[in-house]
Amino acid sequence: MNKEGNYCFKITDFEKQNFKTQQKINNVDFNIEGLISGNYWINAFRGKKNIDINLRIEYKRKFLCSRCLEKFVEERNIYRKVEAVENVNVSLPFEGQKINEEEDENLIYFDGETINLYNILKDLIVLDEEMKLLCSEQCRGLCPVCGINLNKNQCCCTVEKSSKNPFDILATLDDK
Protein backbone atom coordinates (compact mmCIF):
# COMPACT_ATOMS: atom_id res chain seq x y z
CA MET A 1 0.00 0.00 0.00
CA ASN A 2 1.36 3.38 -0.95
CA LYS A 3 0.90 5.62 2.04
CA GLU A 4 2.03 8.74 0.30
CA GLY A 5 0.05 8.71 -2.91
CA ASN A 6 -2.25 11.61 -2.17
CA TYR A 7 0.23 13.59 -0.14
CA CYS A 8 3.19 13.95 -2.48
CA PHE A 9 3.55 16.75 -4.98
CA LYS A 10 6.02 17.48 -7.70
CA ILE A 11 7.95 20.67 -7.15
CA THR A 12 7.16 21.60 -10.74
CA ASP A 13 3.46 21.77 -9.76
CA PHE A 14 4.32 24.68 -7.54
CA GLU A 15 6.06 26.54 -10.33
CA LYS A 16 2.66 27.67 -11.47
CA GLN A 17 1.48 30.84 -9.88
CA ASN A 18 -1.09 30.18 -7.21
CA PHE A 19 -1.24 26.40 -7.29
CA LYS A 20 -4.49 25.01 -5.88
CA THR A 21 -5.66 21.49 -5.25
CA GLN A 22 -8.09 19.50 -3.17
CA GLN A 23 -7.21 16.00 -1.95
CA LYS A 24 -8.75 13.32 0.18
CA ILE A 25 -7.47 12.35 3.59
CA ASN A 26 -7.71 8.61 3.87
CA ASN A 27 -8.21 7.36 7.43
CA VAL A 28 -6.35 4.13 6.60
CA ASP A 29 -3.22 6.05 5.61
CA PHE A 30 -3.13 8.08 8.77
CA ASN A 31 -4.01 5.49 11.38
CA ILE A 32 -5.32 8.12 13.80
CA GLU A 33 -7.84 6.78 16.29
CA GLY A 34 -11.41 7.81 15.50
CA LEU A 35 -10.56 9.54 12.23
CA ILE A 36 -13.44 8.97 9.82
CA SER A 37 -12.69 11.00 6.70
CA GLY A 38 -11.41 14.32 5.51
CA ASN A 39 -10.16 16.56 2.78
CA TYR A 40 -7.40 19.04 2.50
CA TRP A 41 -6.81 22.02 0.30
CA ILE A 42 -3.54 23.54 -0.78
CA ASN A 43 -2.98 27.01 -2.04
CA ALA A 44 0.71 27.41 -2.74
CA PHE A 45 2.99 30.19 -3.89
CA ARG A 46 6.47 29.52 -5.12
CA GLY A 47 9.14 31.94 -3.94
CA LYS A 48 12.81 31.99 -4.85
CA LYS A 49 14.02 29.53 -2.24
CA ASN A 50 10.83 28.53 -0.55
CA ILE A 51 7.23 27.60 -1.17
CA ASP A 52 4.47 29.12 0.94
CA ILE A 53 1.71 26.60 1.40
CA ASN A 54 -1.65 27.55 2.81
CA LEU A 55 -3.17 24.39 4.17
CA ARG A 56 -6.77 23.88 5.04
CA ILE A 57 -7.81 20.58 6.53
CA GLU A 58 -11.40 19.58 7.09
CA TYR A 59 -11.99 16.28 8.80
CA LYS A 60 -14.53 14.23 10.68
CA ARG A 61 -13.43 12.37 13.73
CA LYS A 62 -14.85 10.56 16.72
CA PHE A 63 -13.78 12.34 19.89
CA LEU A 64 -14.19 11.62 23.57
CA CYS A 65 -16.07 14.32 25.49
CA SER A 66 -13.78 15.46 28.28
CA ARG A 67 -16.75 16.01 30.60
CA CYS A 68 -19.07 13.00 30.13
CA LEU A 69 -16.54 10.68 28.41
CA GLU A 70 -19.03 9.76 25.67
CA LYS A 71 -17.92 9.48 22.08
CA PHE A 72 -19.21 12.00 19.60
CA VAL A 73 -18.48 12.87 15.99
CA GLU A 74 -17.32 16.32 15.12
CA GLU A 75 -16.24 18.01 11.92
CA ARG A 76 -13.25 20.23 12.43
CA ASN A 77 -11.22 22.68 10.39
CA ILE A 78 -7.55 23.48 10.62
CA TYR A 79 -5.89 26.36 8.83
CA ARG A 80 -2.13 26.55 8.75
CA LYS A 81 0.50 28.33 6.76
CA VAL A 82 3.49 26.13 6.12
CA GLU A 83 6.78 27.14 4.62
CA ALA A 84 8.66 24.56 2.59
CA VAL A 85 12.38 25.13 2.15
CA GLU A 86 14.75 23.24 -0.07
CA ASN A 87 16.99 20.94 1.90
CA VAL A 88 20.53 22.02 1.10
CA ASN A 89 22.12 20.64 4.25
CA VAL A 90 22.81 16.88 4.21
CA SER A 91 22.43 16.50 7.97
CA LEU A 92 18.80 17.60 7.95
CA PRO A 93 16.05 15.01 8.39
CA PHE A 94 14.41 13.45 5.40
CA GLU A 95 11.99 15.18 3.15
CA GLY A 96 8.65 16.26 4.53
CA GLN A 97 9.55 15.41 8.09
CA LYS A 98 9.10 17.92 10.81
CA ILE A 99 12.40 19.19 12.06
CA ASN A 100 13.36 19.36 15.72
CA GLU A 101 11.09 21.03 18.25
CA GLU A 102 13.06 24.23 18.84
CA GLU A 103 12.67 25.19 15.21
CA ASP A 104 9.61 26.58 13.55
CA GLU A 105 6.96 23.87 13.54
CA ASN A 106 5.51 25.28 10.35
CA LEU A 107 8.72 24.75 8.45
CA ILE A 108 9.21 21.63 6.36
CA TYR A 109 11.97 20.56 4.02
CA PHE A 110 11.86 19.15 0.57
CA ASP A 111 14.57 17.49 -1.33
CA GLY A 112 14.82 17.33 -5.07
CA GLU A 113 11.73 16.69 -7.13
CA THR A 114 8.92 16.14 -4.69
CA ILE A 115 7.42 17.48 -1.52
CA ASN A 116 5.64 15.23 0.91
CA LEU A 117 2.92 16.66 3.12
CA TYR A 118 1.99 13.41 4.87
CA ASN A 119 3.84 14.13 8.12
CA ILE A 120 2.70 17.70 8.51
CA LEU A 121 -0.92 16.71 7.84
CA LYS A 122 -0.71 13.93 10.40
CA ASP A 123 0.93 16.19 13.00
CA LEU A 124 -1.71 18.87 12.58
CA ILE A 125 -4.60 16.43 13.02
CA VAL A 126 -3.02 14.67 15.99
CA LEU A 127 -2.20 17.95 17.77
CA ASP A 128 -5.71 19.21 17.16
CA GLU A 129 -7.00 16.62 19.64
CA GLU A 130 -5.04 17.97 22.58
CA MET A 131 -7.52 20.73 23.22
CA LYS A 132 -10.45 19.81 25.45
CA LEU A 133 -13.53 19.00 23.49
CA LEU A 134 -17.11 18.77 24.69
CA CYS A 135 -19.98 16.86 23.10
CA SER A 136 -22.03 19.99 23.69
CA GLU A 137 -21.61 23.26 25.57
CA GLN A 138 -24.48 22.15 27.80
CA CYS A 139 -22.92 18.79 28.63
CA ARG A 140 -23.74 18.01 32.29
CA GLY A 141 -20.91 15.54 32.67
CA LEU A 142 -20.77 12.74 35.18
CA CYS A 143 -22.09 12.79 38.73
CA PRO A 144 -19.01 13.14 40.96
CA VAL A 145 -20.49 10.66 43.44
CA CYS A 146 -22.03 7.78 41.47
CA GLY A 147 -20.48 8.48 38.06
CA ILE A 148 -23.76 8.36 36.18
CA ASN A 149 -23.98 10.29 32.91
CA LEU A 150 -26.16 13.26 33.83
CA ASN A 151 -27.05 13.95 30.20
CA LYS A 152 -28.97 10.67 30.12
CA ASN A 153 -29.97 9.95 33.70
CA GLN A 154 -30.78 11.53 37.01
CA CYS A 155 -29.42 10.24 40.25
CA CYS A 156 -30.29 10.78 43.92
CA CYS A 157 -26.86 11.80 45.11
CA THR A 158 -27.02 14.63 47.62
CA VAL A 159 -24.04 16.66 46.45
CA GLU A 160 -24.83 19.94 44.85
CA LYS A 161 -24.55 19.65 41.12
CA SER A 162 -23.35 22.87 39.65
CA SER A 163 -25.38 22.33 36.50
CA LYS A 164 -28.61 21.69 38.38
CA ASN A 165 -30.93 24.47 39.36
CA PRO A 166 -30.80 24.77 43.21
CA PHE A 167 -34.50 25.64 43.30
CA ASP A 168 -35.34 22.11 42.12
CA ILE A 169 -34.58 20.86 45.62
CA LEU A 170 -36.84 23.47 47.23
CA ALA A 171 -39.61 22.51 44.87
CA THR A 172 -39.51 18.86 45.96
CA LEU A 173 -39.59 19.89 49.64
CA ASP A 174 -42.69 21.99 49.05
CA ASP A 175 -44.49 18.96 47.67
CA LYS A 176 -44.23 17.11 50.97
Binding site for Zn ion (CB under 5 A): 65, 67-68, 135, 139, 143, 145-146, 155, 157
CB of 89 to Zn ion, least distance (A): 48
Q: Which of 71, 68, 38 is nearest to 56 (CA)?
A: 38
The radius of gyration of the chain from alpha carbons, rounded to an integer in Å, stands at 24
CB of 76 to Zn ion, least distance (A): 16
Q: Which long-range contacts (CB under 8 A, 24 or more apart) does 15-24 make?
A: 15/46, 16/46, 17/45, 17/46, 18/43, 18/44, 18/45, 19/43, 19/44, 19/45, 19/46, 20/44
Q: Of 55 and 135, which has the nearer Cβ to Zn ion?
A: 135
Q: Of 46 and 67, which has the nearer Cβ to Zn ion?
A: 67
Q: Of 8 and 157, which has the nearer Cβ to Zn ion?
A: 157
CB of 143 to Zn ion, least distance (A): 3
CB of 71 to Zn ion, least distance (A): 10
Bridge partners, 83 (sequence order): 52, 107
Q: Of 49 and 132, which has the nearer Cβ to Zn ion?
A: 132
